[in-house]
Amino acid sequence: MIPILKILILTLYFLILLILSIYGIHRYILLYLFFKYKNRGNSPRGYFSEDNLPKVTVQLPIYNEVYVVERLIDAVCRLDYPKEKLEIQVLDDSTDETKDIAMAQVERYKNQGFNIKYFHRDSRRGFKAGALQEGLLKAEGDFIAIFDADFIPNPDFIRRTIHYFTDESIALVQARWGHINREFSFLTMIQSILLDGHFIVEHVARNRSGRFFNFNGTAGIWRKIAIFQSGGWDGSTLAEDLDLSYRAQLLGWKFVYLPDFSVPAELPVDINGFKNQQHRWAKGSVQAAIKLLPKIMKAKIPLKIKLEAFFHLTGNFTFPLMIPLSLLVFPTVIIRKGLGLYDMVIVDLPLFLFATGSFAIFYALAQKELYTDWDKNIKYIPFVLSLGVGLSINNTIAVLEALEGKKSEFVRTPKFGIEGKNQSWIGKKYKGNRSFIPYLELAMTIYFVIVIIGAFVAEIYMTIPFLLIFFFGYVYLTYLSFFQNKKLLEVYNLEPQKRIRF
């Protein structure tokens, strides 16, 4: 190999590892903040008397949710809160039979004395943000609770959150997401671990240490005046919740996070729907970063808040780095084959521990904090890392679209009312959009098959576990993207009870 080419490959490889290591160090900082502040008290400043409970508007933004809209409305109408102090808005942008189901549910509960209203828009202008904003202008309550269609709010949700607003500086109270179908499949288990890391370590560390954190779009309750003062809901990004959160906190509003109070929700079971969701979240966060970071850096706020906001909003920029890293890892090993084991470990191990070690500890800790049988879940951590690598192509495209200013619609994640292991979603409508991305993932899968064979031939055995992390991520997403659909089942004539959960 030409010497200058070797130098370029090694330089690029270690530069990428260095950047990823910096973000890995940031995860260690979050872990430190979590341990330091996790026991900090988080109780309401006071309590509203029963006679003085404030009026609350519950907003339910929905779009083509035929399988879950009844479950959602039923759950909201079971909220333990005085009927005269509760308004429910069903904000429906649907274009299918969801409209008829939702209207029938609204009429049924209206006849039972509920203050429930149905709003339908003929266009999705502003998407979810547009629906929330239009509903906000008509809202009767001083506080706004929001639930997406796949959530099942607990009856005590409002009573558990409303009293924090006795502190006039509080704009938002956010609950943790629970998972009703966590054990449905390997895919849902991995998703739950990813979300648990976010809701346990990240949110607790940021909120209780005085840094900014974000509303997650659902399972939270806002002070209405704070939304208005912050400029309202804005559909200019796909992360309207993240955008509003930072605008509110830049004005001095405070947020409260309740890690011990979860709201059950349904995880995506369709790989293409899951990838669409990840694409939307990645693209939306980069759009928010472009919009907000200049304001944040100019704001008169502590440096620690600015730094955390930078890492929070730019976290998805690591995905475009994963692709060249994937391609360079084997050529780098070949170039450095002549080095002794000690020489390779002394350089590679620290970078590896910073880049990936923090990732493993991060998610393992969240499992330990949440579940008594957490030790059974640890075996999934390497696959969580693999899935993160496998998503690099999908999310890189999202990042690039955001950087070039490409506009796209808010693609909602299909839900099928899956709550138990023995249910099936095969044959139902609302499959996630498929694209050319699986073909790129297939190409990466083939590349790593060749690379792993090459590692065996070259007797570079110590690299194979590392290469397998990359390989599994790409092959898993490739397999599900091509074969997790009804046609595969029809080909093999599988009976419903024999259908495989991927």
Residue from 92, 93, 150, 196 carrying the catalytic annotation: 93
Are 122 and 134 a contacting pair, CB within 8 Å?
no
Which helix (H) or strand (E) segment holds residue 177: the answer is: strand 170-177
Tell me what pLDDT residue 434 has.
67
Q: What is the Cα 5 distance to its own chain's centre? A: 39
Report which of residues 369 and 355 the model is more confident about: 369
Is the pLDDT at 178 greater than 90, yes or no?
Answer: yes
Structural domain harbouring 404? 1-44+183-212+268-502
Q: pLDDT tens-digit profile of 45-93?
A: 999 999 999 999 999 999 999 999 999 999 999 999 999 999 999 999 9
What does the pLDDT average to over 134-158? 97
Query: pLDDT category, 332, cuts 50, 70, 90?
Result: confident
Give the percent of the chain with pLDDT over 90. Answer: 70
Tell me what pLDDT residue 339 has.
56
Number of domains comprising the chain: 1
Report which of residues 140 and 183 the model is more confident about: 140
3-state secondary structure of 115: coil
Q: Give the position of tokens 């260095």.
A: 18
Q: How far apart are CA 310 and CA 315, in angstroms?
A: 8
Query: pLDDT category, 371, cuts 50, 70, 90?
Result: very high
Tell me what pLDDT residue 483 has.
81
Tell me what pLDDT residue 17 has.
86
Report which of residues 493 and 8 the model is more confident about: 8
Answer yes or no: 260 catalytic.
no
- CA angle, 134 then 207 then 50, to 5°: 60
Is the pLDDT at 241 greater than 70, yes or no?
Answer: yes
Dump strand ranges (E) for 43-158: 56-62, 86-92, 116-120, 143-146
Q: How far apart are CA 314 and CA 291, in angstroms?
A: 12
What does the pLDDT average to over 319-348? 74
DSSP calls for 332-349: HHHHTTTS-HHHHHHHHH
Q: Give the position of tokens 């899951």.
A: 274
Q: Would you say the pTM of this structure is higher than 0.85?
A: yes
Domain membership flag for residue 320: yes
Answer yes or no: 150 catalytic.
no
Domain membership flag for residue 476: yes
Is the pLDDT at 412 greater than 60, yes or no?
Answer: yes
Query: pLDDT category, 489, cuts 50, 70, 90?
Result: very low
Residue from 148, 196, 241, 270 carrying the catalytic annotation: 241
Is the pLDDT at 367 greater than 80, yes or no?
Answer: yes
Report which of residues 155 and 488 the model is more confident about: 155
Domain membership flag for residue 324: yes
Q: Which of 64, 81, 62, 80 is nearest to 72 (CA)?
A: 62
Is the pLDDT at 227 greater than 60, yes or no?
Answer: yes
Query: pLDDT category, 276, cuts 50, 70, 90?
Result: very high
Are 255 and 272 a contacting pair, CB within 8 Å?
no
Domain membership flag for residue 31: yes
Q: pLDDT tens-digit profile of 420-454?
A: 777 777 767 776 666 789 999 999 999 999 989 98
Tell me what pLDDT residue 349 has.
60
Domain membership flag for residue 217: no
Tell me what pLDDT residue 342 has.
52
Domain membership flag for residue 97: no
Domain membership flag for residue 409: yes
Q: pLDDT tens-digit profile of 447-464?
A: 999 989 988 887 777 778
Domain membership flag for residue 399: yes
The phi and psi torsions of 263 (rounded to 5 degrees) equal -115, 120
Tell me what pLDDT residue 497 has.
39
Q: How far apart are CA 287 and CA 243, in angstroms?
A: 9
